[in-house]
Structure 1
């Protein structure tokens, strides 16, 4: 986000470059002295994301080509060191892109008042979100999702999709897409490209709030209240929400397994249906206090709860090679449980003597606990040889706790360059406790083949540095290097096995921009990323899958290394903004499966490092106003993916496929009070696991009516033609499989949104901006603090370094 140019030019001062190392060493030493305290701190929750002071300087040195929207006479209320509120009027422009990322403003999305974070992400170019909440970017499912630049336990692991579907869209200000993350970003959550959710924040003096209430089809509903009050040195913000929602589904499954030795086949079919709407609720709050003109502290807290209740019915049949039915039964699965997320943190910002000089320390803790109770009842018509018990139960208790402590120092030099230094210590402690019982009458009997407890304690320690400078009037550059050490302590509690693993990685990154003219920019970027193995890939316990298969993890897996390259062309195509990007991604030491024959009837599947995957493609976006009433936002992505895998005999197998996705948003102002939005999303064939996913397309409609200046009516209809489905196909020499799953995509919501307070709203709020008009970079907090509360999962707005 950019400020007016006048706020981004360094001024001369008595501070010299020779003083900088001494000051930076002092700041970093102060932070590092608290490292062990941070790593063992109690659950203080996740704090505010960093307010990116460097964003303005980055924009100044590498002017983006996307046409900015002019903001005339924006007025912000800010707190001075005396506790009085000063009003600063500025002239400026809101920039869309920065040297290392694309920024998408989602506040104007008509559906944001009654949608979820998953809905918002699904509208971002080249981002795909399936009905379960699984996210991919440019066909890559290894996506890191941050909240205000920081990781959150609730967006890790299997619960991420459901949490995205629970998080209110109303809390989100913008989405930052970082395809090649730089040195300041860590590798948690998969280490892939980053989607950063920048949460809304407010800096206005006085109080304001908004109330949303929505009712949907089949008894769905959601409501949220958000507000803030700012006076003098203090800023307070918070909100609560409730949501009753979910996605019922039906499924069709057909699998044929072929014996490679004899050619004999076995066919299995399954039809299923699952239903269950769950209750979700949460709250958040943040308090900011300006200690002085140069020091600001903040504390924040967030809580979220979600149910895991559902009922599923399935009919399974298995046929032998002669067509004889060998299994036929009905299974009923009743699921109950809940998911609990807590987060909070503390933050201190200190502004130095030099314009733009800033030191930040940030401590946050987040936890996620998920308890699931699955009860299975089988009614056999034809009982198979290796039949499950008539009644069984699976209990899953997963716990994740992340302690994240970072320090960042930023120093603008006299020549206009910017130096950044930072450190990070993060502990990620997880436990995965799975217990399986078969019932003999009313007595539960533990099934040792499926019962195990696995614990992983992961510590990541990192140092990074970056240097940004302006080579000429047309060229700008940013280079960075990150050193990251990972140590793993793994305990397979059930078998009494303890294993350690550690490794050090050097992670470079580089960016450059070239300004062809006032309307056109070229962008170049490179970054290396790491993708660490998940708990399921590390757990050495040998798990029973069925009578023919077992699986086991590998605790000595190393991270996958990914080198990403990108070239972008940004210009003005008539009255529209146009972007074209070419990209290439190369994965080394990929984690792939290896199958080995244990005995005459059993195959063991495990994991190993080896081989590589490659992907590349072209991405375009086209947006702007076609007429005073009609605006468009379209994007497309042509992707080519190549994967190396091992077959049953251990031979290398290469899979490859192109994929095309297109999406478009049309916004039409029917009247000054009425707005209609049409969204089209089409996804081509994509590789998925050992197979591929078939194409699909959807159409969504949204309508907003401004009844008064404070009250609005919003109507959404998702998947108008009920065409959304997930169909995957596997076709190999030993396995032919087709799996179709249809979800409740066709859902309607109608709601009201009421805004109150904030008399200076039209003049005092500059959406998405930090500290316009401040002499010394971003404000130390002012009303609303250094970014305000970060919503559920993370801390204040700003989306700064993610370490």
Structure 2
């Protein structure tokens, strides 16, 4: 067991005392009572608001943000949609982080997605269309009913759904320059006891990437060896997704659901690279191409049983994801002092994941009190088959043992959890406990070596809330999180990037454990929502990227457990209305970030810095038919054990014209200032390395949205799509 029950009680006592003291101070400073807000039953229960859906929904363990009104997301990728969500950052390689922490689990409608897990997640985020996403839930301290995987927290993508009677749907089409565009359709047929929904989408995007890498190799006598690598890439990304869901009510208490989904992405890249060496490392040029394919087939079935009594239910879910990634690199290297050489590198990764979940909810007499019990099982399997060949001609390629290997990953997780909801008056209290048994088996087929891990751990969670008034709420939470390394991070064999940059995993990696504390003060009135969230996160056994310069000048990146890490900071969110036609959304994070590599034997110094990030949008609705939006992001610096990563800001523009009740015109400009770039800086006693990554992602899109079918009287209010005064709602 990794945490004693006394630690759980101490955390509960700390949060409760902190809330009690803070609420007393806040109540002393409260102004005279304002006019009553829409009626709410008690803390933790929804406030009913009619007329439009909310812009922000706050719940005991999460904040949910509407992205249906983000015009850039309607023509962009999942990465574009996430960049405007408070606390979330996505770099130009598709690495997503929460408050700078890349340990993030991404769910779709509350379930894991095979496409958004593992080594291909970044490319999927950059290529998959976002116009089917309605809301994004940010869960930094989930309850025990949610897997603790993800040191930074959980992002849950909520897809758009139509529930009106009859047949209805939406068609969206967008076109841009340089072969860019997208097309999607979703449709629903609903009648009493049966609902069938289907969606399909295609997106094509092109861009150019310029990468400059300058490297200083520090010699033992104090001299320097300087080298530079200049690379240009032309990329074409195509993504296709489809899903069909059937919900059948067998009777008033039993519902069966079946779903099948398929996602596929293809990315082709033409590359030109120039390496300027020194007296030890020769100069050369490299011309080549890369083809990468990702695919996943998802199957899901569920049974929901409503039992006697309010909020009394039992459910069983069974899911299966099967897919993977295939990457092929072909290139030719030549230079004045190097012979012409051909190479072919192939990485084939097959993944299979099976999940079973049983969940039981029971009310405990008084309203606002309930018990939630559950069991989850997840089996993960990955087969990594890598090969590499080089030779003087395309027909004379010879297999390279250092680039050819086979690695099998298996992991079984059994989990049992329990949470209590105990609301009393203005207080809400939700303790939870999760027990997980994990068995990990690693099989290096190439050399016949096996590794295994077997551990049992407890993950407590606590959420405490106090209503200070009809408009103000104070919440505090604690959770224990885990970040488990994935197959690629555990595979000790070489993953080839280019002749001067390679990666290897570490089968000895241990999971990273994080204890997360938060306090949130939230205020809402009409269209105004304010949230201030101080947070503290403490990690141990954090695994970080470590770089090492090999004798031939190649940079090797691997991972190691490097001691402790701390984050102390605050999130701020302000949404409101400047006038009847002008609204704004602002958010930012300020934190002190420390990485203390105390387990490295003195090889790494402590890294600490104060970092900040901000994002915002302003929306102008001059008429009921016109909607104009300007949004911008300024990501913060991200610390790593040997340096930092810094992202550039992005500015987007959008205009939507409502032609009639069924048809709308959309024009968006992405990265209008051409500032999408990132820099990675590495500093060690023997190396100084700076990588500057710039993407020409500036794009203009013209789109049309057409709604068909359904009864206009039963549609959700059109005002949600065009009314910027959507209110905040507490749940």
TM-score above 0.5: yes
Q: Is the aligned partner of 1:117 residue 2:78? A: yes
After superposing the two structures, state which structure 1 stretch, 574-583 or 623-632, moved more.
574-583
Alpha carbons of structure 1 residues 303 and 207: separation in structure 2 relative to 1, 3 Å: same
- Match runs of 1:170-569 below 5 Å: 170-188=131-149, 190-259=150-219, 261-320=220-279, 326-383=281-338, 390-416=341-367, 417-441=369-393, 442-470=395-423, 472-541=424-493, 553-569=505-521
Count, aligned residues? 680
Mapped partners of 1:761, 1:749: distance in 2? 32
The 1:689/1:400 distance shift into structure 2, 3 A limit, reads farther
- Structure-1 separation of matches of 2:677 and 2:358: 45
Partner of 1:32: none
After superposition, the Cα gap between the structure-2 partners of 1:695 and 1:337, relative to the gap in structure 1 and judged at 3 Å, is: closer
Partners of 1:546 and 1:214 lie apart in 2 by: 35
The CA distance in 1 between the partners of 2:522 and 2:325, in whole Å, is 44
The CA distance in 2 between the partners of 1:732 and 1:761, in whole Å, is: 66
Q: In the aligned structure 2, how far is the partner of 1:544 from the partner of 1:290?
A: 51
Q: Is the 8 A contact 2:597 2:641 kept in 1?
A: no
Whether the 8 Å contact between 2:55 and 2:66 is mirrored in structure 1 is no
Residue matched to 1:746: 698
Name the CA distance, whole Å, in 2 between partners of 1:212 and 1:350: 36
Cα distance in structure 2, aligned partners of 1:519 and 1:764: 26
Q: CA deviation at 1:380?
A: 1.1
Distance (Å, rounded) in 2 between the aligned partners of 1:534 and 1:634: 35
The answer for the alignment partner of 2:119 in structure 1 is 158
Q: Distance in 1 between matches of 2:386 and 2:681?
A: 30
Assess if the C-alpha contact under 8 Å between 2:587 and 2:615 holds in 1.
Answer: yes
TM-score by length of 1: 0.80
**CA offsets per residue over residues 372-417 of structure 1, 9 Å max, x none?**
110121011233xxx8x71111011011111011010001111231
1:729 corresponds in structure 2 to 681
Please identify, of 693-702 and 599-608, the stretch whose mean Cα deviation from structure 2 is larger: 599-608
Shift of 1:200: 1.7
> Contact conserved, 1:717 with 1:746, CA < 8 A, in 2?
yes
The CA distance in 1 between the partners of 2:62 and 2:212, in whole Å, is 41
1:71 to 40, 50, 68: 50
CA 1:258–1:660 in structure 2 vs 1: closer, same or farther (change >3 Å)? Answer: same
In 2, Cα distance between equivalents of 1:675 and 1:600: 57
**How far is the alpha carbon of 1:688 from its aligned partner?**
4.2
- Give secondary structure in 2 for the equivalent of 1:215: strand
Q: CA deviation at 1:643?
A: 0.7
Higher relative contact order (CA 8 A, sep 6+): 1
CA displacement at 1:359 relative to structure 2: 0.6
Cα drift, residue 594 of structure 1: 7.3
Q: Distance between the aligned counterparts of 2:487 and 2:85, measured in 1?
A: 30
Q: Describe the superposition over 1:33-56 as per-residue Cα deviations: whole angstroms up to 9, x where unpaired.
A: xxxxxxxxxxxxxxxxxxxxxxxx
Q: Is residue 587 from structure 1 mapped to residue 539 from structure 2 by the alignment?
A: yes
Partners of 2:56 and 2:66 within 8 A in 1: no
Cα distance in 2, alignment partners of residues 454 and 610 from structure 1: 25
How far residue 573 of structure 1 moved from its aligned partner, in angstroms, is 7.7
Using a 3 Å threshold, how does the CA distance of structure 1 residues 293 and 501 change in structure 2: closer, same or farther? Answer: same
Distance 1:595 1:720, change over 3 A: closer
Q: 2 CA distance for matches of 1:367 and 1:167?
A: 18
Structure number with higher strand proportion: 2
Q: Encode CA deviations 1:176-198: one digit per residue, 9 max, x unaligned.
A: 1100112111144x453000011
Give me the CA root mean square deviation.
2.9
Contact 1:203 1:765 in 2 (8 A): no
